Structure 1
Amino acid sequence: MTTITDQDDIDARIQTYYGELFDEHIRLTTRSAQGPLEFQRTQEIIRAHAPEGRVLDIGGGAGIHSRALMDAGYRVEMIDPVPRHVDRAREAGVAASLGDARELGFDDDSFDTAILLGPLYHLASRADRVTALREAARVVRPGGAVLAAGLSRYVAFGATSLGRPVPSPMPGEWAALIADGTPGSGLRFPAGHFHTAEELQAEVEDAGLLVHGVFGVEGPAGLYLEQAGAVSDEIRHAALMLARAASSMEGIRDQSAHLLAVAHVPS
Structure 2
Amino acid sequence: MKDLIAVYEAGDEDGRLAKSRNWVEWERTCEVLRRWLPGPPGRILDVGGASGRYASWLTGLGYTMHVLDPVPRHVAQARARGLDASEGDARDLGFPDGWADAVLLLGPLYHLPEASDRTRALAEAARICAPGGVVIAAAMSRWAKPAEFAAHRNLADLDVQRHLLRLLDHGHDPDGDAFDQTSYNHDPDQLRSELVDAGFIDIDVVGVEGPLGSFARQDPELNQVALSAARASEHLVPHLSLHLLARGGVG
Question: TM-score, normalized by length of structure 2?
Answer: 0.91
What is the CA distance between 1:47 and its match in structure 2?
Answer: 1.3
Contact 1:183 1:194 in 2 (8 A): no
Instruction: Tell me what 2:77 maps to.
Output: 88
Read off the aligned partner of 2:59 and give its amino acid letter. M
In 1, the alpha carbon distance for the partners of 2:164 and 2:218 equals 22
Deviates most, 44-53 or 74-83: 44-53
- Give ranges in structure 1 of 5+ residues lacking alignment: 1-10
2:1 pairs with 1:14: no
Read off the aligned partner of 2:18 and give its amino acid letter. T
Instruction: Tell me what 2:118 maps to.
Output: 129
Contact 2:145 2:164 in 1 (8 A): no
- Give 4+ residue runs of structure 1 displaced > 6 Å after superposition: none
What is the CA distance between 1:147 and its match in structure 2?
Answer: 0.4
In 2, the alpha carbon distance for the partners of 1:124 and 1:164 equals 24
Contact 2:147 2:214 in 1 (8 A): no
SS in 1 for 2:179: coil
Q: Map of 1:45-64 to 2, 5 A cutoff?
A: 45-51=32-38, 52=40, 53-64=42-53
Q: Map of 1:31-180 to 2, 5 A cutoff?
A: 33-51=20-38, 52=40, 53-159=42-148, 163-165=154-156, 171=162, 174-180=164-170
SS in 2 for 1:262: strand
What is the CA distance between 1:212 and its match in structure 2?
Answer: 2.7
Contact 2:65 2:83 in 1 (8 A): yes
Q: 1:245 to 1:13 in 2, by over 3 A?
A: same
SS in 2 for 1:237: helix
Instruction: Tell me what 1:6 maps to.
Output: none
Read off the aligned partner of 2:70 and give its amino acid letter. P
- Which residue, out of 181, 188, 197, partners 2:178? 188
In 1, the alpha carbon distance for the partners of 2:172 and 2:116 equals 15
Q: Percent identity?
A: 39
Alignment length (residue pairs): 244
Q: 1:189 to 1:26 in 2, by over 3 A?
A: same
In 1, the alpha carbon distance for the partners of 2:145 and 2:174 equals 10
Read off the aligned partner of 1:164 and give its amino acid letter. L
Give deviations 1:189-231, integer Å, cap 9, x for gaps.
Answer: 1533110110111111111111431010111121112112x52
- Give ranges in structure 2 of 5+ residues lacking alignment: none
